[in-house]
Amino acid sequence: MSLPKNSKTKENPSRREFVKTSALVVSSAALASGASLARAAHISGDDEIKIALVGCGGRGTGAAAQALRTEGKVKLWAMADAFLPKVTNTLQRLERDLEEDQAAEQPNALTAAIDVPPERQFAGFDAYQKAIDSGVDLVIFAAPPGFRPLQFEAAIAADKHVFMEKPLAVDAPGVRRVLAANEEAKKKGLAVGVGLQRHHQQGYIDTIKRLKDGAIGEILMTKVYWNGAGVWVRTRADFASAYGHKPTEMEYQVNNWYYFNWLCGDHINEQHIHNLDVSNWLKDAYPVTASGMGGRQVRKGKDHGQIFDHHFVEFTYADGSTMMSQCRHIPGCASKVDEYAIGTAGKSHIGDYEISPETGGNWKYEGKRVDPYQQEHHDMFAAIRRGDKYNEADNGARSTMTSILGRMATYSGKIVAWDEAINSQIDLSPAKYDFAADSPVMPNAKGKYPVPVPGKSKVV
Ligand SMILES: NC(=O)c1ccc[n+]([C@@H]2O[C@H](COP(=O)([O-])OP(=O)(O)OC[C@H]3O[C@@H](n4cnc5c(N)ncnc54)[C@H](O)[C@@H]3O)[C@@H](O)[C@H]2O)c1
């Protein structure tokens, strides 16, 4: 078995291809780059890069493995999670997979190392800070997005390079905090990667470039989708069997985080951000208004917290063009995760890397397909080693704000403007990060949580 992969999509190449691709990226970029930034965290060429992983779940495990597979010396040095067994289980898995890779003489894996003794395994709400302070150069953040602003701020204050998963926040104050901390990151010359991996997928890169170059004229409309069956549910009983005690309300919510807005921001934020971000990328802009509708048709169980199971949003950009967005988490319905564009002179199935102009014949990307989850790490680590500027957080924060704007529209039933949305003072975070404290939303006597009601709920 090889190191864990998160992507099971059309983009999965072989390990040999990763290694070859990364070598090409490094050598051509090294030739191209002249400039080097003064860095707070100086790393050059073949220096060892020590990393910490914060959030040892599915994606964190994948991201750490991908960081360890990049060219050059990388050492996993510290790990942090809300719950200690997540740290120890993930560590065991990574160590086992690394050994197997090394036994199979995977050339890239031989450069990677794992050295996370018990004194650098951290648990609890302050674990992220201990991991940041453990002597690392770079921190990977893959905890639920409600924690991202706080954790990102701390890493930048401590002069660390960062790779952080999308989305970057769950509310407007969180987006503003990320943008502000990122100004500091840029001043300090720190690299910041964001897990919107389509930006590292050559098919998307080439398709978007051609569309921006006018392949189908002016873009009038985009259509974006994340329709699927939904995700896991983690009950109180699941928590007790995993961690050996009945959870407090706060422990329960942090573990079953997908269903609580202060942790997740609803699935329009959590997953659909990928597709909204593709439209923003194509438009080189963020929407100025949103209106939409949504609700919970089947997501009604007591472990379903407060989020909707469907949203439909019409976003408008400043040039009058629109983005039609749908996302659904309902089993048994048609699935679709994709993006399209319609222009004055043709159309494009962006997610299939295909462009159909009215005249001149179809174009389709036929190049190599590499795993974008791996590629984003190759690109970031290579940039750090070259001393190049590398920062994806402004776009990550604004695409996060796009999905929050969409949620504000569906929760309120109102037309919501970007300016009022991003200036909203509604802060979803808890008064206190303490597993014994109340959560920002508490269950009623029947164990149910408040669910937004369009026409009534206040969102800005
Ligand atoms: N780029 C992608 O395509 C992609 C794919 C999957 C997940 N993700 C993102 O990765 C993040 C994590 O998702 P996941 O699927 O791994 O979830 P997960 O539940 O498997 O993992 C989250 C982990 O964070 C831990 N955690 C909770 N609170 C914490 C805290 N305060 N400090 C440290 N750790 C904490 C949890 O205990 C858990 O182990 C999400 O933001 C998600 O959107 C991105």
Q: DSSP per residue over 112-178, as a string?
A: EEE---GGGEEESTTHHHHHHTTT-SEEEE-S-GGGHHHHHHHHHHTT-EEEEPSP--SSHHHHHHH
CB 197 within 8 A of CB 281: no
Residue 404 sits at the vertex; the CA angle it makes with 420 and 460, to the nearest 5 degrees, is 35
Q: Which atom of ligand 1 is nearest to the CA of 60?
A: 16
Burial of 389 (0-12, 13-18, 19+ CB in 10 A): middle
Other CB atoms closer than 10 Å to residue 342's CB: what's the count?
Answer: 17
Q: pLDDT digit of tens for each residue in the chain (460 aa)? A: 344 333 333 333 333 333 333 333 333 333 233 333 434 457 877 899 999 999 999 999 999 999 999 999 999 999 999 999 999 999 999 999 888 877 777 665 545 689 999 999 999 999 999 999 999 999 999 999 999 999 999 999 999 999 999 999 999 999 999 999 999 999 999 999 999 999 999 999 999 999 999 999 999 999 999 999 999 999 999 999 999 999 999 999 999 999 999 999 999 999 999 999 999 999 999 999 999 999 999 999 999 999 999 999 999 999 999 999 999 999 999 999 999 999 999 999 999 999 999 998 999 999 999 999 999 999 999 999 999 999 999 999 999 999 999 999 999 999 999 999 999 999 999 999 999 999 999 999 999 999 999 999 999 9
Q: Is residue 108 part of a domain?
A: yes
Pair (274, 315) in one structural domain: yes
315 lines ligand 1 (CB under 6 A): no
Q: Is residue 333 part of a domain?
A: yes
Quote the pLDDT of residue 108: 59
- At residue 143, what is the residue type? A
367 lines ligand 1 (CB under 6 A): no
Which CATH number does the domain housing residue 148 bear?
Answer: 3.40.50.720
Q: Is residue 100 part of a domain?
A: yes
83 lines ligand 1 (CB under 6 A): yes
- Tally of CA atoms within 13 A in the half-sphere of 331 that contains its CB: 4
- Tally of CA atoms within 13 A in the half-sphere of 84 that contains its CB: 7
Pair (27, 137) in one structural domain: yes
Q: Is residue 206 part of a domain?
A: no
Instruction: Please list the helix, strand and coil fractions of the chain in percent, rounded to the nearest 5, in that order.
Output: 40, 20, 40
Pair (175, 285) in one structural domain: no
Rg of the chain over all Cα atoms, to the nearest angstrom: 22
Pair (286, 193) in one structural domain: no
Pair (131, 92) in one structural domain: yes
Between CA 269 and CA 278 the distance in angstroms is 14
Pair (51, 181) in one structural domain: yes
Q: Is residue 135 part of a domain?
A: yes
146 lines ligand 1 (CB under 6 A): no
CB 212 within 8 A of CB 278: no
Best residue among 54, 79, 81, 125 to mutate for probing ligand 1, ranked by most atoms within 8 Å of CB: 81
Quote the pLDDT of residue 37: 40
Between CA 164 and CA 143 the distance in angstroms is 9
Q: Is residue 459 part of a domain?
A: no
Structural domain range at position 33: 15-198+373-391
Q: Which residues of 208-243 are buried (b: 16+ CB within 10 A; e: fewer)?
A: bebbeeebbeebebbbbbbbbebeeebebebbeeee
Question: Positive or negative CA dihedral for 52, 57, 59, 65?
Answer: positive
Pair (42, 86) in one structural domain: yes
Pair (33, 161) in one structural domain: yes
414 lines ligand 1 (CB under 6 A): no
Quote the pLDDT of residue 358: 96
Q: Which atom of ligand 1 is nearest to the CA of 258?
A: 19
Pair (253, 176) in one structural domain: no
Pair (98, 243) in one structural domain: no
Q: Which long-range contacts (CB under 8 A, 24 or more apart) does 57-61 make?
A: 57/81, 57/86, 57/90, 57/142, 57/143, 58/6, 59/6, 59/142, 59/165, 59/195, 60/90, 60/140, 60/142, 60/143, 60/165, 61/4, 61/90, 61/93, 61/94
259 lines ligand 1 (CB under 6 A): no
147 lines ligand 1 (CB under 6 A): yes
Other CB atoms closer than 10 Å to residue 14's CB: what's the count?
Answer: 11
Q: Is residue 140 part of a domain?
A: yes
Pair (80, 223) in one structural domain: no
Quote the pLDDT of residue 35: 34
Q: Is residue 9 part of a domain?
A: no
Pair (386, 406) in one structural domain: no
Between CA 400 and CA 269 the distance in angstroms is 7
Measure the CA dihedral 16/21/22/28, to 10°.
150
- At residue 351, what is the residue type? G
Number of structural domains in the chain: 2
Start-to-end CA span in the chain (Å)? 48
Between CA 390 and CA 118 the distance in angstroms is 33
pTM for this model (two decimals): 0.92
167: preceding bond cis by omega (within 30 degrees): yes
Residue of minimum CA distance from atom 11 in ligand 1: 142
Quote the pLDDT of residue 45: 79
Q: How far is the CA of 374 from the centre of ligand 1 (A)?
A: 17
Between CA 41 and CA 258 the distance in angstroms is 34
124 lines ligand 1 (CB under 6 A): no
Unique residue bearing structure tokens 């998963």:
165
Q: How far is the CA of 54 from the centre of ligand 1 (A)?
A: 9
Quote the pLDDT of residue 413: 98
Which CATH number does the domain housing residue 300 bear?
Answer: 3.30.360.10
Six-digit token string for 356 = 């159909």
